[in-house]
Structure 1
Amino acid sequence: MPEDSDKYPTESGRRRFVKGVVGSATLASVGTGAAAAVGSATSATGAGGGLTQFFAIENTDGPAPRGMPLIPIEVQGGELVGLFPDNIEDGVAQMQIAGQTYSSAWFQYCGVQTYAGVQPGTDQDNTFRAASGAPYAWMEDIEAGTPLTVDMFSDYEEWSNGIGRGGMGKPAMASWRSQDVSPQETLVAQVLRSERIQELREDPPEGANGDFIRAVTTEDGFIAWLNKCTHFCCVPGFKSIAGSAAFGAEDRVYCQCHQSVYNPFSIVQGQFVALPRPE
């Protein structure tokens, strides 16, 4: 098992925005608006670890124990920018978004808690930038490190790469808060523009926090998440692998390492035990 992998138990029976229980007293996932009871205390070493509530794109299949955490996204001057919390408290960067706490602890798993980009107070660029080696043909002519802009996604309503159905949205692989760091410390993110996100903003499922959904996505259908599979920390992709069809994931985010599947059109709230960063 890789050194930076987390060791959480597998998950069971979670439905969209409906309370689910995970097979551990220290790990639970809940639907938006619901609450989970955690029966044991967490003793964290270092700073910023312990029980953390977060929002994510939902894990729907495979061994991944939970969804991948959202990165609130904004458009600034035509560029796509990921919001990072700016208030430091108890060694964690956090802020309030639509009544919910957004925290740097959302990203404290898979060794990411040691990366420069998630350290509270670190001066880093929040712009989403094109990642090297992206699995999408449309990105081949974009130099790695180039800021992602709204106009790059203008054909999102029709875009297709022959995997699954066309018109589900246009994805990009990105780096975030990773300027002038080693490749091993690059925060890998995925950005997606889709009509499905616009529909989700207009008509959230029953029990969902619509104000929060609208606050972490954009009017023109952009959503972003930290693209580290919560199972063994691999890098999944939305419509990036043709073989995903064998697992019913051709229109989802699929991790080829162990067949975990995520639904980018379902935002869920959960809890997990964040790994502390070294003090």
Structure 2
Amino acid sequence: MPLDEDKYPSETGRRRFVKGVVGSAALSSVGVGGAVALDTATSPTGTGGGITQFMGIENTDGPAPRGMPIIPLTVDSEGALKGVWPDVKTETVQGQEVTIAETELGGTTYSSAWFQYCGIQTAEGLDPEADQDNFFRSSSGPSLSWQSEAKESGEKLFVDDFSDYESWGNGIGQSGLGKPAEAAWRSDGDVQTVPVQVLRSPEVSKMANGEGPYSELPGEVQSFIGAATEQNFMAWLNKCTHFCCVPGFKTYEGSAKFDAENEVYCQCHQSVYDPFSPVSKSFVALPRPGE
């Protein structure tokens, strides 16, 4: 395909959606005044949105404008992995009653607005009051062979599924760096899927404790990682912030050509993310559908 050829034919409607995504991504670099103007303009047809500070895994290469947001997690008494959903409350924003999900975690304001980009803000499960549990469930048709062999679609992910994480490898990059899985979150029933990447790695606790190369992590980032991870597990919303594709950690063999074999690689346009470089960033969150 020629480099200047539009990836999505105009008659599919996908092209128009992508242009909207690119436009919103570009807004992440504008000043606060411009972003506030956007929020004012969009509020009548939606709720939430505007300048949002978030914690994510850093975008280190490629056209993506920013990292992907981290999803705090916990492990229940049976060893099942669950994403943490913020506390739900109602506030008045610009004279409008808005239901939001927001809580303090490790000194950071964790909000459902972190996930309001790329059309994912329309997912029913990301409505603050959605009747959904928070378990991470194995995705349908995962790219990782270990997962397709061991887990059924929709089955919960458990700690024991990652017992070999300190030695696991699949021929891509360095073995022993961690074991990933592809999951869905707050996606029970016939609703839009919220795609998640789960990773268990010995590097996670090092980040939380500021050990070795992570001693230079900003205090707010280190505190958040300590509160948002457990038993060396971490997770993030697996939606590339460029064209909304689904990247992968140790998933695509071609990642080595872009020095991304030990990082998260998006094969659509070669964006790269480093799960071991958590950062605090801001972007313009899109409003959810009106209530």
Could you tell me the TM-score, scaled by structure 1's length? 0.87
Specify which of 256, 265, 278 is matched with residue 267 of structure 1.
278
Give the CA deviation at 1:98.
1.8
Name the counterpart of 2:83.
Answer: 82
Q: Judging changes above 3 Å, is the alpha-carbon distance between structure 1 residues 145 and 238 closer, same or farther for their aligned structure 2 residues?
A: same
Deviates more, 1:154-163 or 1:112-121: 112-121
* Cα RMSD (Å): 1.8
AA matched with 1:3? F
AA matched with 1:25? V
Q: Secondary structure at the match of 1:245?
A: helix
Higher helix share: 2
Give the CA deviation at 1:23.
7.9
Could you list the runs of 5+ residues in structure 2 that have no partner in the other structure?
1-14, 91-97
Q: Which runs of 4+ in 1 moved over 6 A?
A: none
Specify which of 124, 146, 154 is matched with residue 145 of structure 1.
154
Name the counterpart of 2:269.
Answer: 258
Q: Judging changes above 3 Å, is the alpha-carbon distance between structure 1 residues 66 and 8 closer, same or farther for their aligned structure 2 residues?
A: farther
Name the counterpart of 1:216.
Answer: 228
Deviates more, 1:240-249 or 1:209-218: 209-218
Q: Secondary structure at the match of 1:140?
A: helix
- How many residues matched? 255
Larger radius of gyration: 2
**Is 1:42 matched up with 2:53?**
no
Which whole-Å CA distance do the structure 2 matches of 1:103 and 1:178 have between them?
A: 18
Specify which of 7, 12, 22 is matched with residue 7 of structure 1.
22
Could you list the runs of 5+ residues in structure 1 that have no partner in the other structure?
12-21, 27-37
Which whole-Å CA distance do the structure 1 matches of 2:193 and 2:249 have between them?
A: 19
User: Per-residue CA shift, 1:235-267, capped at 9, x if unaligned?
Assistant: 000000011000000000000000000000111
**Is 1:161 matched up with 2:161?**
no
Where do residues 22-171 of structure 1 align in structure 2 (5 Å cutoff)?
24-26=29-31, 38-40=32-34, 41-44=36-39, 45=42, 46-77=46-77, 78-89=79-90, 90-141=98-149, 142-171=151-180
**Is 1:173 matched up with 2:188?**
no
For the 8 Å contact 1:42–1:273, the answer to whether it is kept is no
For the 8 Å contact 2:248–2:264, the answer to whether it is kept is yes
Which whole-Å CA distance do the structure 1 matches of 2:259 and 2:168 have between them?
A: 20
Which whole-Å CA distance do the structure 1 matches of 2:101 and 2:24 have between them?
A: 27
AA matched with 1:215? A
Q: Secondary structure at the match of 1:109?
A: coil
Which whole-Å CA distance do the structure 1 matches of 2:37 and 2:196 have between them?
A: 28
Q: Secondary structure at the match of 1:266?
A: strand
Specify which of 240, 246, 251 is matched with residue 251 of structure 2.
240
